[in-house]
Structure 1
Amino acid sequence: MFFRPLLCLSLCAFALPTLADTVWLKNGDRLTGKISVLDGGKLLIETSYGGSIPLKWNQIATLESDQKLLVKQGDTVGEVAKSLQASEPGKVTLVNGGAPRTVELASISQIIHPKPLIQDFTWKGNVDVAMDYKRAETDTDDYDVSFDTKARHGLWRHNGAASYNREYRDGVTVTDNWDAEYALDRFIDEHWFWQGRLNYKRDQIEDVRRQRTIGTGPGYQFWDNDLGAFSLAALINRSDYEFADGSEEDFYLAALKWDYNRYLVGKTFELFSSGELGKPLESVADYALDAEVGLRYKVTDWASLNMKAEKDIISGAEESLDETRYSIGFGVGW
């Protein structure tokens, strides 16, 4: 009779997924799933029964995981642990091939998945849609759609983006433009890459009707992990502008291009910004700026609410442009 419950307990333990992570809370509860990230005082655990569950880090007693995780203590000290083992309340043991090391949970500021340089294939992106209807002395209908995606295969990264905006006031079209861009990055090492890009913009209303840009130059990836990414590229571009009166301008310019996103509060919020600031090598214009900044709030694993501001400036050209747009909408991501 003594061996029967012991046998049942052993079989149940054997039947549990070997790669399942476990988190013990201070109130005695226990959750199993897959640890995703720790940031901003929130530990995000992916579960099959409740989706993504954020947990307050100060309410966790201990945890264990068979995953390889990057554990950061403070802003600079980081260690890649092959696994985590449960310890006494308030502590966890880091196992990385040498002697196991037990640390205080309070000393850990971040837990993320280390990202290798070469990966078979990763693909991520999002589509944001915003619509605004105003019925007053002036009736306004505004539609805004944007698309952004990145695909990484080994040392190559493909970047694609497109957007469309149209606005009516009392049935008259006052804004009608779209743009598309493709950039190809070839990584030299973990951080440095070389980029080639193509960009096209079409506007039916503003003085600058067409913008075509082709450019190339080096870039630097400061980081790219579960908490976000940040890269800068210094490019030499050839730009062609076509204006409403039929005149054209073409010139070379030096440009700084950035791409930034950062997840906050256990990936509940995402702060993002991308754009390009260019200075013509000839005295055709003072400078050109095309930038956006925004915030996304994650409603589910794939759906989000977003707020975004966009700025498009061409200063000092024969026909200048200064346009600002704000939008609030709904998005999907993968």
Structure 2
Amino acid sequence: MKRMIPGLMISCALALGAGLASAEDAAPAADEILLLDGSKIIGKVVDARDGAVKVETGFAGTISIPLDQVVSVKSSAPAVMELTDETVIEGQPLLVEDQQLQVTDNSGNIREVELGELLLVNPEPWELGLGYKWTGLANLAMTLQRGNTDTDELDYKLESVWRSERDRYTLKFNGEQDETNNIKNADNWSALGKYDYFFDGPTYGGIKVSAESDKFADLDLRYYIGPYIGREFYTEPAFTMSAEIGLSYVNEDYIVADDNDYPGATWGIDMTSDYLGGDSRLYFNQLGIWDLQETSDVVINTTFGLAFPLLWNFEAAAEVKLEYDSGAPEDIEELDQTYSLRLGYTW
């Protein structure tokens, strides 16, 4: 029988113990969240915003918990926290006891803050005033048909938004080109550029420039420019809503009808909702122009639809676009309707 050398046995034992200790140190400590109903959630706190904390769990993926249902949170990893008074706390774990946020000051003293004053946990850089967040989408719908009838249809949409803590830039462009048996039956496009400056709170002001053309509605070019004031009424993912009103100079160039220009009152409404779940998105937006000289004339462009995610940031969308012009030239329909299924990429 081979005899183990005592020194070697001790060395092996120490190495094994050190290995186990290293493995324990390497394993990330789980966060613990206790709720009002006595439930205990074990996972990792990802972030908190819009009055809810997101927790990554091993049994249900990432779940969102309203902050008013949280009794305590025990977290070990350092986090960045922003309070409603714009105070930023860095390098401290998220700790909550009896619905009170525990904050350690520079002197090492712990002070309690109402949990309702916690605005963000692990905010993005732009939310702390560092640069811009860039989001957008590019959608395309195309139909090619050959046989008894040759049909080519192309719908496209591009939207891009740059948002900082203080301001926002928005660009939108979309259009439609349709042809049947080498004869065009749709040729239109529209473009929008906006700049928003946020005052304290959800109110903002800005300036808007828009242009559109529709050859089959006798519209060679309509453009308008002017200031507006807006407000974000709701910002939670379950329902977002913002609205704007303003004044603009409007110029309309027609292919056959007489050209026109006038002062106009403008408005805009944007709404979204993730109510259906599954990262789907219901959306509605409307832009309107009211002729302040010929008050019976109004232009209203409305778009609403449902978008749902696919893979790798791609999404599909079913969309309806309604374009109404009460002052359309004779022999031109006042209401134009477009129904489309789109495939796009979001970022």
**TM exceeding 0.5:** yes
Q: Is the 8 A contact 1:125 1:148 kept in 2?
A: yes
C-alpha separation between the residues in 1 aligned to 2:253 and 2:28?
A: 61
Paired positions, count:
307
C-alpha separation between the residues in 2 aligned to 1:112 and 1:325?
A: 42
2:319 alignment counterpart: 308
1:42 deviation in Å? 12
1:144 alignment counterpart: 155
| Cα distance, 1:317–1:285 mapped onto 2, change above 3 Å | farther
Q: Tell me the amino acid that sits aligned with residue 339 of structure 2.
A: Y
| Cα distance, 1:182–1:38 mapped onto 2, change above 3 Å | closer
Q: Tell me the amino acid that sits aligned with residue 138 of structure 2.
A: V
1:277 deviation in Å? 2.3
2:343 alignment counterpart: 330
Percent same amino acid among aligned pairs? 18
1:139 deviation in Å? 3.9
1:324 deviation in Å? 0.9
CA RMSD, Structure 1 to Structure 2 (Å): 4.7
1:243 alignment counterpart: 254
C-alpha separation between the residues in 2 aligned to 1:269 and 1:133?
A: 28
Q: Which moved more, 1:220-229 or 1:116-125?
A: 220-229
C-alpha separation between the residues in 1 aligned to 2:277 and 2:79?
A: 18
The one of 190, 193, 196 equivalent to 1:185 is 196
The one of 270, 283, 290 equivalent to 1:259 is 270
| Matched position secondary structure for 1:268 | coil
1:227 deviation in Å? 6.0
| Cα distance, 1:100–1:36 mapped onto 2, change above 3 Å | closer
1:307 deviation in Å? 1.1
Q: Tell me the amino acid that sits aligned with residue 294 of structure 1.
A: G
Q: Tell me the amino acid that sits aligned with residue 167 of structure 2.
A: W
Q: Tell me the amino acid that sits aligned with residue 185 of structure 1.
A: D
* 1:220 partnered with 2:231: yes
Q: Spell out the pairing of 1:22-171 with structure 2 (5 A cutoff).
A: 35=46, 45=56, 53=61, 67=79, 95-97=101-103, 116=127, 118-134=129-145, 138-171=149-182
C-alpha separation between the residues in 2 aligned to 1:46 and 1:199?
A: 46
Q: Tell me the amino acid that sits aligned with residue 345 of structure 2.
A: V
Q: Tell me the amino acid that sits aligned with residue 255 of structure 1.
A: T
| Matched position secondary structure for 2:256 | coil
C-alpha separation between the residues in 1 aligned to 2:143 and 2:81?
A: 43
Gaps of 5+ in 1: 71-81, 103-110
C-alpha separation between the residues in 2 aligned to 1:113 and 1:137?
A: 59
C-alpha separation between the residues in 2 aligned to 1:136 and 1:63?
A: 67
| Cα distance, 1:113–1:53 mapped onto 2, change above 3 Å | same
TM-score, structure 2 as length reference? 0.70
1:293 deviation in Å? 0.8
* 1:289 partnered with 2:303: no
| Matched position secondary structure for 2:217 | coil
Q: Is the 8 A contact 1:37 1:266 kept in 2?
A: no
1:55 deviation in Å? 5.7
Residue by residue, what CA displacement relative to the aligned partner does 1:164-200 show, whole Å, maximum 9, x if unpaired?
A: 2111122211001112111001111121111101011
TM-score, structure 1 as length reference? 0.72
| Cα distance, 1:287–1:297 mapped onto 2, change above 3 Å | same
| Cα distance, 1:13–1:220 mapped onto 2, change above 3 Å | farther
Q: Is the 8 A contact 1:117 1:155 kept in 2?
A: no
Q: Which moved more, 1:115-124 or 1:281-290?
A: 115-124
* 1:174 partnered with 2:185: yes
1:275 alignment counterpart: 286
